[in-house]
A and B are shown apart, each in its own frame.
Chain A
Amino acid sequence: MKFGVIVFPGSNCDHDAFYAVTSNLGQKAEFIWHDSNSLGDCDAVILPGGFAYGDYLRCGAIAKFSPVMRAVRKFAGEGGLVLGICNGFQVLVEDGLLPGALIRNRGLKFICREVRLRVETTNSPFTNAASKGQILRIPIAHGEGCYFADNRTLAELDEEDRVLFRYAGNPNGSVNDIAGILSRERNVMGMMPHPERASDALMGSSDGLSVFQSVLHAVVKA
């Protein structure tokens, strides 16, 4: 299969995501520049971590107006798989493809740390290779990763089984320990932790690879 990795000016985990899905997962990948109007023949698209457009104004606030996001919305609307990692998650919530908001960490400091994530659902193209309740060791690295949503949204996420991961040991104050969520159609996901940084045992953990393996399963099956 082929992954597309979106490159906004200021993306800085684009190379890491590319490396994880090519060298670690063994699939094809292509960088897609932010002014692109099409995602080409990609089977799934990754919005990587970083500071898109400097994250000025608000994380992801400017990125959502970029030409490539029109293509991403269209792709998502047609059922394409979209993964927002860290800054990518922030862009997706700004864009409205995912509900809620990401605000400054409790403690107001950037945190880089390996955290433990509990897989909350395996009914998704991003977690089908994991088992429910499984604990994954994956690092976070963000200053604004505290997930927030109103009670109705939170109830919806629970009722529709759309919480992908919760922190086992909440590092940033996220409401209900939420670390990653799904769209209603279950084809768009956002997560603050970095699975691409945990895709190689040499980096201390390869637990993150299961996210990309799940995508591969889903695409190959489809």
Chain B
Amino acid sequence: MTAITPELIAQHQLTSTEYRKIVDILGREPNYTELGIFSVMWSEHCSYKSSRLHLKKLPTRGRLVVQGPGENAGVIDIGGGYVIAFKIESHNHPSFIEPFQGAATGVGGILRDIFTMGARPIAVLDSLRFGRLDDPKTGARNRRILGGVVAGIAHYGNCFGVPTIGGECLFEPCYDGNPLVNVFALGVCKKEEVFYARAAGIGNPVIYVGARTGRDGIHGASMASAEFTEESKQKRPNVQVGDPFMEKLLLEACLEAMHTGAIVGIQDMGAAGLTCSTCEMGSRGAVGIEIELDRVPQRETGMTPYEIMLSESQERMLLVADKGREEEVFRVFRKWGLEAVEIGLVTDDGKLRVRHHGQVVAEIPNRELADEAPLYDRPHTQPPRAGLIPDLPSAKVQRTLPALLAAPDICSKRWIWEQYDYQVRTNTLACPERTDAAILRIKETGTSIAMSLDGNGRYCYLSPREGAKLAVAESCRNLSTVGARPVAATNCLNFGNPERPEIMAQLVAAIEGMAEACAFFDTPITGGNVSLYNETLGEGVYPTPVMGMVGTLKTGEPVTIPFKNANRSVILLGGIGDCDDTRFGGTQYAKEIVGELWGLPPALDLEYEQRVQFAMRKIIAEGLAESAHDLSDGGLAVAVAECSFGPAEIGALIELNSDLRPEMLAFHEGPSRILISTEFPRKVAAIAEKYEIEAPVVGVTISKGIEIRQRTITLGAWEIAALRTAYQQALESHVR
């Protein structure tokens, strides 16, 4: 027996107080296996011990919410007897250590969360952050991580057969040693066919299905709950290896087995593997679970109980079936060539009892283990402040636009998304970069859904509260721009070390900002993920909350970004907006041209934002918009250019009536603005008036080139082909 020493406890990242709590719960000292079990369940990754207190502030209820946080995914009613299940997850730490497998298994994990609910996954989106690709010191490594992550996502999603249809990808030095890989997945099923991860029925068999258990991924959850150091590379064996083919079989077999009606509850084995799935299913159902590890299919010989319980081998599921109907379940899994083994049963004593060779090797009350993890109100002070306003050079708009279009954050991400199969299942109504939100038709209901992922670490660094609100506003705006009504959200909170009060302050403020905005837009958060300790060698990432927003719309040809015809009015819904030196500090202009970050993010007025979005949806509903694109990174000038990159290469002559400095006018990133082209400017004006928003006609579409004027002075005039080349070739040239 391994002795439980203070060193061993510390190695398991448990504090002495946490250890005393374990002793209290058990009424005795834990053994080595139990210590391991507690350490993973009480890790930050699994227990949310630093964030739980604040996550309670998020709105989670709504008319359409079928299932809020607490299950494997949130579930929303989309009408017609169907629901969608969706969630976002991070796989940041593994993706740094082993980019390809780290990202691949991130996709695998979130897909299992979706089909565990009984829903067939039909969409994946990803939100990625990397260090600068052109950095002389770290660029080569960052390029390798980018290439590996994208290939890993493609490998898993393409083989599994789920389209990866959108997302975002941004670059900052703060992500050098700590890339962010957040993957969103969404599935669909009939409302009455939703499954829950709840054990029930004393005496019912507990069945293990899928891949065999190996020694991979042991302590993955704990790894994700610590900062990185120089030694982190040695944690490479902690990263799991994914097999998308196995996952595809598991998907088909699970959905088919669910249809037999013989399954009571089901949960995937993700973080903390067999440990988490057993105790959480038991805890949710207020029952006990007893398993015999000898029966667990194993890939390697001589595995200890500790290793079996903590393994994070991929593509495994745990399910509880109706006693007497096991054979119906086994038959389905046999058909798909998968192992399905009864490893235990549901008991009435509320305990997780683990046997090995018949001997009890762990016995822990499920509820205390799963739900009574330590809860911390960690001290939080003020978020760090950014620097003062630097001397602002006045760069010419003419030269700046091509530079911004080639900037890594703004340029086309085609090199990434062409590696993803974005069309499989034939529901994708617009290819990436054609619309601000991804759109999928739901064949079963005849309606469509729209999705968007948004986060802006620069804004959030300047003001976590405002930055989080801006992310919510933008994700809603992306949906409104294609005519979809935002209905629900999921979030992924990527932050540094919460034990540092200034980092904790960022987390608290961001959650509060997100809560306020989500409540305002009536988009409850139905689940999500918190990833803390995103630090390497003491350097934290920008606070990066990522919003995944989901909305509904009618099925039809979508309103896309590019201008379609010349001689159409170009209207800026929401108006030209305002900006000053302070509010200019988080923009792409500040980043790429000035090379600094200062001040505050753009000012957001939630009321006004919502009116702009109402107006936009009305304009689309009435069929008045020929094109629509919301203004975000790079502001108005970048948006005009992006609207000109359609197959027809229709450009625009823009005339702006404003006193802002030219570079501010062209590139400020004030929210609540959408650029549309229309044949019916008067009807659009009437709608704008009704919603009390500004909607100046800022120009006209033309068959050749782009020109932007401030009143009568030309700020810049460009050939579309030249801008397009800068925009489309930048990433590929950075990657090489």
The interface of chain A, by Cβ under 8 A from chain B, is 9-10, 12-13, 15-16, 19-20, 49-51, 53-56, 109-114, 139, 141, 143, 194, 196-197, 199-204
Contact = CB atoms under 8 A, between A and B. Distances in A.
Given A50-B161, A202-B429, A12 B424 contact: yes
Nearest to A196: B426
A54 B418 contact: no
B248 interface: yes
Given A19-B443, A110-B154, A112-B420, A10 B159 contact: yes
B428 interface: yes
Contacts of B248: 9-10, 12, 51
Interface string B522-564: 0000000000000000000000000000000001110000000
B616 to A, nearest CB: 22
Best-surrounded residue of B422, B426, B441 (most CB of chain A within 10 A): B426
B249 A9 contact: yes
A51 B420 contact: no
Contacts of A13: 161, 424
B245 A56 contact: yes
B363 interface: no
Contacts of A16: 424-426
B426 A197 contact: yes
A194 B163 CA distance: 14
Interface of B: 151, 154, 158-161, 243-246, 248-249, 336-337, 417-426, 428-429, 431, 441, 443, 555-557
Contacts of B424: 12-13, 16, 49, 141
B645 to A, nearest CB: 16
A110 B441 contact: no
Q: By DSSP majority rule, is chain B's interface helix, strand, loop, or mixed?
A: loop
Contacts of A109: 151, 418-419
Given A12-B424, A16-B424, A54-B243, A111 B557 contact: no
- Most chain B CB inside 10 Å of its own CB: which residue of A19, A53, A200, A202: A202
A113 B418 contact: yes
Main secondary structure of the interface of A (DSSP, over half): mixed
B425 A111 contact: no
Contacts of B428: 203
Contact of A12 (B160, B419, B441, B555): B160
A79 to B, nearest CB: 30
A12 B245 CA distance: 10
A132 B667 CA distance: 50
Contacts of B441: 202
B149 to A, nearest CB: 14
B81 to A, nearest CB: 19
A9 B426 contact: no
27 contacts: A9-B245, A9-B248, A9-B249, A9-B337, A10-B159, A10-B245, A10-B248, A10-B249, A12-B161, A19-B426, A49-B424, A51-B159, A51-B245, A51-B248, A54-B244, A54-B246, A110-B158, A110-B419, A112-B417, A112-B418, A139-B423, A141-B421, A141-B423, A143-B158, A203-B426, A203-B428, A204-B431
B426 A54 contact: no
Given A54-B243, A202-B441, A111 B159 contact: no
A112 B153 CA distance: 14
Contacts of B337: 9
A16 B122 CA distance: 12
B613 to A, nearest CB: 25
A3 B698 CA distance: 54
A199 B160 CA distance: 22
A15 B555 CA distance: 20
A69 B556 CA distance: 40
Given A9-B249, A10-B249, A12-B160, A202 B423 contact: no
Contacts of B423: 112, 139, 141, 194, 197, 203
B432 to A, nearest CB: 10
B241 to A, nearest CB: 14
A116 B576 CA distance: 41
Contacts of A49: 424
A110 B426 contact: no
Contact of A141 (B151, B158, B246): B158
A91 B90 CA distance: 36
Contacts of B421: 110, 112, 141
A125 B259 CA distance: 39
Contact of A15 (B151, B243, B425): B425
A53 B426 contact: no
